[in-house]
Structure 1
Amino acid sequence: MAGHVTVPEEMDAWVVARPGPIASGPLERVRLPVPRPGPGEVLVEVEACAVCRTDLHLAEGDLPPRRPRTVPGHEVVGRVAARGPDTVRLAAGERVGVAWLRSTCGRCRHCLRGAENLCPYSAYTGWDADGGYARYLTVPEDYAYRLPGDGAAEKLAPLLCAGIIGYRALLRSELPRGGRLGVYGFGASAHLTAQIAIAQGATVHVLTRSAKARELALELGAASAGGAADAPPEPLDAAILFAPAGELVPVALEALDRGGTLAVAGIHLSDVPVLDYRRHLFQERTLRSVTANTRADGRAFLEIAAACPPKVTTVPYPFGAADRALADLAADRVEGAAVLRM
């Protein structure tokens, strides 16, 4: 391996052994060989990995596994430990972030028009390839983000998915400058996205079932914070649904002003009830999904976060407590973002 540094032969990792309810123990701690980077790939020694609701969907089987015994995790901060053949961009020892989007074909009509997030041949960290619930992982160097060398890994990790996908959802919501944004659900992604919107001059109303999350929303500058099914205090120009609750789609649509847009940010959503055309969609209201992100989204968001750092609220867990972190996430016991620290 070019740029080789000494790494162990084996590592600790967590795998999704038996997808099912989190109480059934779908995660299993194991010993695995340390992966070797292939052409154009780097080996990353993990410093921290944030815990995403997508990891929970994978563990519980809402997101069908694409390979057996996958190591989840796609909000990774670490350092390049070794380089595979034909790597030219990253050097050993560099601080990098590894996110959800792992590779795309670069040749299909979607990639060629700048929509690589829609590439039918795309692959994802912690789903198609082993992720960051491990001491090491590999990533194509073109899909790794350079990160500040002196930032706290625990605070940087949630930016790699919660931050990036929230930023993409904000773009998809087409919030006008100085507009009124509704945020449904207030976990890791929402608490970062709300801060970006507020910094850009938006009025943000948070709707979530968690009393502690409502308190955090007000501390971070939200204009109001109510229950998930409550009506906001004024009509919304745009809304983002972060909660994986399909029953909130008509609630959010009805809260929109004429011409407003609802962006659904999750990769998984429970069934959406029947919509009433006049109440929920008429007057040119728009309902949109959000599918992954492009690398351009990632770079743009990280630049914004560097220029105007959001307050990243985290709950740290030791590496050996990954199963407990997912259980806490499932039970809404996490305020902000859960992060595994190595």
Structure 2
Amino acid sequence: MACAALPETLSGWAVERPGPVASGPLTAVRRPVPEPGPGDLLVRVEACGVCRTDLHLAEGDLPSHRPATIPGHEIVGRVAAAGAAVTRFRTGDRVGGAWLRATCGECRYCRAGAENLCPASRYTGWDADGGFADLTLLAADYAYPLPESQDAATLAPLLCAGIIGYRALRRCALPPGGRLGIYGFGGSAHLAAQVAVAEGARLHVLTRSARARQLARELGAVSTGDAYDRPPEPLDSAILFAPVGELVPVALAALDRSGTLAVAGIHLTDIPPLTYQEHLFYERNLCSVTANTRRDGREFLETAARIGIRVTTTPYPLSRAPEALGDLAGDRVQGAAVLLPDPDFSPS
């Protein structure tokens, strides 16, 4: 598939002044189109999901790794140009860019298959510009081939929300046919929930949003309730997607003996004191989730295709990226927010 001629500049949004969404942390920018290095892909963006990590970066919960970074790491696009050393992709191929961008490949974590823990790891939209733009660079070795048959907007959330949710599901050690509690039900949770239900789990969703509770029931939850409610039965496993530390003791107290709570976010508000007897005794486990491996990505994308995962999205033109972030912050997004190309977006 041939690609259109490349412009001299790209249009996008950069985090220039981190702060509350209401303060306007995103600035519309126009920049020269970057030249792909030997292992890079220059990608024309077809869709980019808006992740809560982008919100944390914009609001300063995550420290900036470089000034004026263009966020976005759920990228679907077409290869517009490829570096000289790239052999996996050709111009016109549809590819996906995810959060993990690079690792050293040599440390003990990389050698053990835990590249998500590599001390030299780098991330799209944090260490390098991401997909809140019409063009972006991806590292070919960390890109995923994507099917032609699926809409770009429904593919985009799979590339972080889906992959991280999948890793969280594996980290929570859910037994076959087990009872799973999910706390918070946004972009990542609604995808992980479908994998769990497809694998035979009894799903309980606890979230403050009435719209999210309705979606959870449509996707197979056997019960729904407010985030601070006790589920109707003890849980074998739980995943905390909401970045609210106060929910950690709530979820731990809902676990049955030997149950595991996995905290899926990159940022969490402070956890209140835990009591040993109520929250940890009977061999209850608390663990975190850090990024993902490329193997996680491949396994999840294969699983999503096999089970016919349903992706609920709320689309926004690229020109309305600040509004998308604000709606995410205010829990006004159904499923996952996705930015789409906007030919009228032209920063000065």
Instruction: Provide the C-alpha distance between the structure 1 equivalents of 2:59 and 2:95, rounded to a whole number of angstroms.
Output: 29
- Shift of the alpha carbon at 1:150? 2.4
Q: Name the % identity.
A: 68
* 1:132-211 aligned within 5 A: 132-211=131-210
Secondary structure of residue in 1 paired with 2:167: helix
Secondary structure of residue in 2 paired with 1:155: helix
Instruction: Provide the C-alpha distance between the structure 2 equivalents of 1:309 and 1:154, rounded to a whole number of angstroms.
Output: 15
Secondary structure of residue in 2 paired with 1:328: helix
1:86 has 2:82 as partner: no
2:129 is matched with which residue?
130
Instruction: Provide the C-alpha distance between the structure 2 equivalents of 1:207 and 1:116, rounded to a whole number of angstroms.
Output: 32
* 2:61 maps to amino acid: D
What whole-Å deviation, never above 9, does each CA across 1:75-132 have from its counterpart, x for those lacking one? 0000110011211111111000000000000000000000000000000000000000
* 1:273-312 aligned within 5 A: 273-312=272-311
1:54 has 2:35 as partner: no
What whole-Å deviation, never above 9, does each CA across 1:24-62 have from its counterpart, x for those lacking one? 000011111111111111111100000000000000000
What whole-Å deviation, never above 9, does each CA across 1:122-149 have from its counterpart, x for those lacking one? 0000000000001111111110000001
* 1:65-80 aligned within 5 A: 65-80=64-79
Instruction: Provide the C-alpha distance between the structure 2 equivalents of 1:269 and 1:309, rounded to a whole number of angstroms.
Output: 31
1:261 is matched with which residue?
260
Contact 2:171 / 2:262 at 8 angstroms: preserved in 1? yes
What whole-Å deviation, never above 9, does each CA across 1:300-334 have from its counterpart, x for those lacking one? 00000111121100000001000000000000000
1:221 is matched with which residue?
220
User: How many pairs were matched up?
Assistant: 340
Instruction: Provide the C-alpha distance between the structure 1 equivalents of 2:149 and 2:190, rounded to a whole number of angstroms.
Output: 23
The runs of at least 4 aligned residues of structure 1 exceeding 6 Å deviation read: none
* 1:194 maps to amino acid: A
* 1:309-320 aligned within 5 A: 309-320=308-319
* 1:23-62 aligned within 5 A: 23-62=22-61
Secondary structure of residue in 2 paired with 1:302: helix
- Shift of the alpha carbon at 1:4? 9.4
Instruction: Provide the C-alpha distance between the structure 2 equivalents of 1:5 and 1:84, rounded to a whole number of angstroms.
Output: 18
1:20 is matched with which residue?
19
Secondary structure of residue in 2 paired with 1:196: helix
1:339 is matched with which residue?
338
* 1:322 maps to amino acid: A
Contact 2:3 / 2:92 at 8 angstroms: preserved in 1? no
Q: Residues 10 and 285 from structure 1, CA distance in 2 versus in 1: closer, same or farther, beyond 3 angstroms?
A: same
What whole-Å deviation, never above 9, does each CA across 1:263-316 have from its counterpart, x for those lacking one? 000000000000000100010000000000000000000000111121100000
Gap regions ≥5 residues in structure 1: none
Secondary structure of residue in 2 paired with 1:243: coil
Instruction: Provide the C-alpha distance between the structure 1 equivalents of 2:8 and 2:126, rounded to a whole number of angstroms.
Output: 23
Secondary structure of residue in 2 paired with 1:279: helix
Instruction: Provide the C-alpha distance between the structure 1 equivalents of 2:296 and 2:256, rounded to a whole number of angstroms.
Output: 27
- RMSD after superposition: 1.0
Contact 1:182 / 1:240 at 8 angstroms: preserved in 2? yes
2:344 is matched with which residue?
none
Contact 1:43 / 1:137 at 8 angstroms: preserved in 2? yes
2:346 is matched with which residue?
none
1:8 is matched with which residue?
7
Instruction: Provide the C-alpha distance between the structure 2 equivalents of 1:304 and 1:4, rounded to a whole number of angstroms.
Output: 30
- Shift of the alpha carbon at 1:6? 2.9
* 1:266 maps to amino acid: G
* 2:270 maps to amino acid: D
* 2:241 maps to amino acid: F
Contact 1:181 / 1:205 at 8 angstroms: preserved in 2? yes
Instruction: Provide the C-alpha distance between the structure 2 equivalents of 1:133 and 1:54, rounded to a whole number of angstroms.
Output: 13
Instruction: Provide the C-alpha distance between the structure 2 equivalents of 1:65 and 1:29, rounded to a whole number of angstroms.
Output: 18
Instruction: Provide the C-alpha distance between the structure 1 equivalents of 2:25 and 2:136, rounded to a whole number of angstroms.
Output: 21
Instruction: Provide the C-alpha distance between the structure 2 equivalents of 1:140 and 1:28, rounded to a whole number of angstroms.
Output: 25
Contact 1:5 / 1:82 at 8 angstroms: preserved in 2? no
Instruction: Provide the C-alpha distance between the structure 2 equivalents of 1:49 and 1:36, rounded to a whole number of angstroms.
Output: 21
Q: Give the TM-score of the pair, scaled to structure 1.
A: 0.98
Q: Give the TM-score of the pair, scaled to structure 2.
A: 0.97
Q: Which moved more, 1:34-43 or 1:256-265?
A: 34-43
